[in-house]
Amino acid sequence: MRSRLLRPALLASLVALALASNLEARTVDCFADQVVAFSVGFSPPEAGLRVSELPGIVLGPPGDSLPNTGSTSTVSLGHNGWILLAFTDNVIVDGPGPDFIVFENAFFKTSVPADPNQPYSVFAEPGKVAVSADGVTFVEYPYDPSALALVGQDATPSSALPLLRGLAGITPTFTGNYTLPDDPDLWDPNGSGGVSGAGGDAFDLATVGLTQARYILITDLGLATGFAGAAEGFDLDSVVALHSIPAPTAGPDTDGDGLPDVDETVWYGTDLALADTDGDGTPDGEEVARCRSPLTSSIAPSFVAQLDPIVSLVPGSTDSYVKWNFVSSTTTYDVVRGELAPTAGPLPSDVVCLEDNSFNLTTFDHPDAAVPTPGRVLFYLVRFRGQGSYGKSSTGQPRTFASGDCPP
């Protein structure tokens, strides 16, 4: 498939379809929650790097990498490919400075610069970015089209980078605090090559006149940045909200912090009567929507609630494939499958261990040819290795099993 301009009505229908067919996460974080639609410049589409692992591969934090080595936890869009992401458990809001970061796997092509006056080059694969509050009207971030001629086939000189502002895929990405934006006008002596946080390209909603956004559209610009085969074109790693609030939900919220009382009790352990449990000046809801802990004043990324990985099943003619959202380049997982009647009730005690301490996220490493017995349905659960339980039930009880569980 090749990219084409999407009419607003078509985008709106895709957004409505996605929201009607996917469950929202029960806990709040700073990452995109859904891939509404995508089109990649590969034939067949699955020929692109990790395209078969959508949606989960882009619904999590940026992958681990070094300044001279790009992350491989990315999906390649190919020339003129595009991808539309949605935030469902949170809303990006306009705050002081940048409001979200787009992480591609740009990296320093030459040695990492030691000071701001040292010339260097970056392997960059630019993509344009558009945002929307409602999934109907999209506003594109401005950039200078003439500057695209400065993007090199194998490397882009540092002198060209200021002229490419407004695009994603420009600033190197590497392991670091992905909740901190990089200021391209400020050299960070504590960062790798002067880049703050985990790098990436930060965007301010005020630039395009929006106060809120829930949809982000990223489009590859079809430049000849070097022959990379299955990894050609813009390589999306992650989108992280910097200023964000929980999406409205039903249920009492005694302290008005954006988190329903039941979520504060079941997931976060925060004070129902205090909007700012840790007293650091930021309401609990905003902290979890920024991937920060509401229990401490630390600015390090945090998953207080031990988030459940989002699980999806891709049906096949012979085998189906279990997929889940990316969490870490070094995290391994256990996957279990069980049967239950299609009515409300407790999970059964016996399950089958499908994947024990699995690392490789490639879809085809997780086939499952099972079919349910008549009158029953299959369920799948994923846990981070060492977590102990497979998340929590809707009543807050840890999901554990008497038999068939993967060994600890």
- pLDDT for the residue numbered 234: 95
Please give the Cα distance from 363 to 313 (Å, whole number).
10
Amino acid 329: pLDDT: 73
Mind listing the pLDDT tens digit for each residue in 248-272?
Answer: 987 899 999 999 988 888 888 899 9
Predicted pLDDT of residue 308: 56
Radius of gyration of the chain (CA): 21
- Please report, for residues 92, 255, 285, 343, the alpha-carbon distance to residue 247 in angstroms, rounded to integers and kept in the order given: 9, 16, 10, 28
* Average pLDDT over every residue of 233-253: 93
Residue 202 vs residues 101, 129, 178, 198: alpha-carbon distances, Å: 4, 11, 11, 11
- Range with lowest mean pLDDT among 62-66, 156-160, 388-392: 388-392
pLDDT of res. 146: 96
Backbone angles phi, psi at 246, to 5 degrees: -65, 145
If you ran DSSP here, which 8-state letter would residue 285 be given? H
Dihedral Cα 188, 63, 223, 230, nearest 10 deg: 160
Burial 140-167 (b: 16+ CB within 10 A, else e): ebebeeebbeebbeebbebebbeebbbb
Percent of the chain with pLDDT over 90: 52
Residue 163, helix vs strand vs coil? helix
Residue with tokens 């300044």: 67
Q: Which of 307, 273, 302, 306 is nearest to 288 (CA)?
A: 302
Distance of CA 42 to the CA centre of its chain: 22
pLDDT for 378:
84
- Residue 309 backbone phi and psi in degrees, to 5: -60, 140
Q: Which of 189-193, 238-242, 400-404 has the lowest mean pLDDT?
A: 400-404
Instruction: Give the number of other Cβ atoms within 10 Å of residue 59's Cβ.
Output: 24
Confidence of residue 12 (pLDDT cuts 50, 70, 90): very low
Where residue 14 falls (left for φ over 0; alpha for ψ -120 to 50; beta otherwise) is alpha
216 sits in which H/E element: strand 215-220
pLDDT above 70 coverage of the chain, percent: 86
pLDDT in tens, 358-397: 765 544 456 777 888 888 888 888 887 777 788 777 677 7
Contact 176, 197 (CB under 8 A): yes
pLDDT tens string 86-119: 999 999 999 999 999 999 999 999 899 999 999 9
| Average model confidence (pLDDT) across the chain | 85
- Tell me the average pLDDT across 117-123: 94
Q: What is the mean pLDDT of residues 126-130?
A: 97
Distance CA 373, CA 25 (A): 29
pLDDT at residue 365 in the model: 54
pLDDT of residue 330: 74
Assess whether pLDDT exceeds 80 at residue 219: yes
